[in-house]
Structure 1
């Protein structure tokens, strides 16, 4: 137990110093499941030690979250409180930082009609569109982290006795966040520098397109002029560096909205608003999904693609080697924030404007004219395999290997 508490304290310090990189005088908002009380208390303590002015904790509970969709009256499904979005926007505009312990139950909405989930999700996304633009343009520091809950641990470690599952989950969370290192903060800084070297090489290449080949996948993804590869950390509007997702192993950029052609197959299950979708594929023409299949959760996938006009286009392309720390654990975590860092992935929906030169200052119309996509959604899905091959298409049409057998073919 002593070692666990020591590691928990190291984790709390890590997410404050590296994740949101809290500075003296900032406010911090924490969104946390009630099961994560012990970790949340330590994060609050570390935040005040780092100079926070005020820490606000918003508690969450899956039973309460589900009860709304089970029991709320019909009109409530299309409602999201303006006072809440106003609070989030003011919080950002006043320089606050957000830390979200994001661990939804993968089966949270099992048995609930997809149309009900979709309506509630669309109402929230519509109401929070201004706030989401702050997120996607890195106006402020925000970070998503993970911590075990009984429901999540039981899904991931169903092969273990019940009393071992949460401990097993803590072990992997500590491992892929480098908490077992003597100095996790320094270890993360070394990791971030490595990702910076990767994105530097890719930014110098300025590929015109990426060509993907694997079982079920034959896809060309064009990249817009002036695209920017990011990875590791990023700067907010005040120049403060933060890590948006812990763990992170990816480098990512913006695909050209109308430049995606061919087919792509998923390689891991996807949690869509509390419902699982699995063994799915897409066919793209001129950037748009024109055909799709799913063996599990087809109706939830259909509702996702119907969210708005931009939901059928891609907003992100991300590269992660198959031989990476999370992938080598050989386990599906049913949590996009983890699974996406074990696999190359794409994202349906909105792009991150910061993935193109001067993108943060562009209107939606200007962004679209530069090749970016806008949507109420941003949903990553995993496509990485041990046999994935990716070629970079240079501006003169020359092909050069980027990935072979699922791993980097470039030198960094």
Structure 2
């Protein structure tokens, strides 16, 4: 089976992890700060807070921005459920903004329309989370301009997008957001096995997120009530979580980041090759905005169902049956039973739903080979050109 994505681990990565295993620190040592410094160097953000998953990063980002009961969080319906769940963890209410039909990212025009209505109704969002689907940045300048007009905070869910650029600047620099989130799950562009990070240019947000990731505990005398009892002393000053990244994860991440440009360059090579090899098929290939350079975590096609004799599920199942490990990113969040119980229903976000009816993520990862890709193209061509 050719997977839709997989990690790319080399001996240098293994050596980095083994070195930590032989060291004095398995957690809370020098590697986590080094990983954070590496992230700020790559993204040009001022602060990075490494945690054990992007879900954890989203959660503490929301808390740092003061999201709570009575507030609204808006995000895209085409994302993993964590982009919405993070708001529920804080007691907030959730809503969605439909996608742009070409980029599959949050549509700024639909966001504006929704904001105009929400202002009249007195239910403007406190936080909006645009999701950089497949690694391509949302139109952040337009979304940021709306945030200035309507007074909401922005968290960029860039889980797919490290190594990408927007307006010639690295995704993650937080020029148009309060906080940016990255994921380092094994199928992402770089991996720490499991892990995530929150980046920001605001020192107070960074300090709060560091506090929240480690039980709300501080060892800084300036943040304590009263005087320390001794060098051993710490205080819990907030209800935090055990969201820390380990030294093992961070060491792997530091090693992986050394090859970030190579990883993204390889993904662009395979994306360009797919674009050529699939041009004759009844599908829609990914659209890239001219002012973005995608991290290309995913290569998503949309089936032109009116031009083929098979259904979406038939094509998907036949690809898997023939050893092509396709996937679908994502089931619209408002289709999930948990969200349906909140009152969301089919028809709420038509462009997201139309996308879902046609989308398939083809295999693409940095360690892919031309032969693997040729096999994907051959099988897909055979399926689409055969009769049902």
Normalising by the smaller structure, the TM-score range is under 0.3
Larger relative contact order, structure 1 or 2 (CA cutoff 8 Å, min sep 6): 2
Superposition TM-score, scaled by structure 2 size: 0.28
Indicate the structure with greater strand content: 1
Superposition TM-score, scaled by structure 1 size: 0.26
